[in-house]
């Protein structure tokens, strides 16, 4: 199953993984690209495995990966809502 199919399957009736990232981190419409989303997920999971709080890990990596990151954006979803919705 492709990432796009996984997004649609995991989020039937709701926002896609890409849209959730866009909302959570206040990204411009051109972000995230699929490559950025994969990089964000990979690096976020690596920090979580090292014991970093999931929300802190996601935020730290978002600042580095996304050009249009907005730290003041509303953050309705938790990382537990977003991470399972996409596969490698």
| Helix spans in 1-88 (H) | 3-10, 17-24, 34-49, 54-65, 79-82
When pLDDT is cut at 50, 70 and 90, the band that residue 54 belongs to is very high
When pLDDT is cut at 50, 70 and 90, the band that residue 7 belongs to is very low
When pLDDT is cut at 50, 70 and 90, the band that residue 49 belongs to is very high
Q: What pTM, to 2 d.p., does this model score?
A: 0.67
CB-based contacts of 67, cutoff 8 Å, min separation 6: 28, 31
């Amino acid at each position: 199953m492709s990432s796009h199919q996984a997004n649609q399957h995991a989020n039937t009736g709701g926002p896609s993984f890409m849209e959730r990232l866009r909302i959570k981190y206040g990204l411009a419409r051109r972000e995230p690209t699929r490559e950025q989303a994969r990089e964000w997920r990979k690096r976020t999971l690596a920090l979580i495995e090292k014991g970093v709080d999931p929300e802190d890990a996601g935020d730290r990596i978002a600042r580095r990966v996304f050009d249009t990151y907005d730290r003041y954006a509303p953050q309705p979803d938790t990382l537990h809502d977003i991470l399972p919705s996409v596969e490698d």
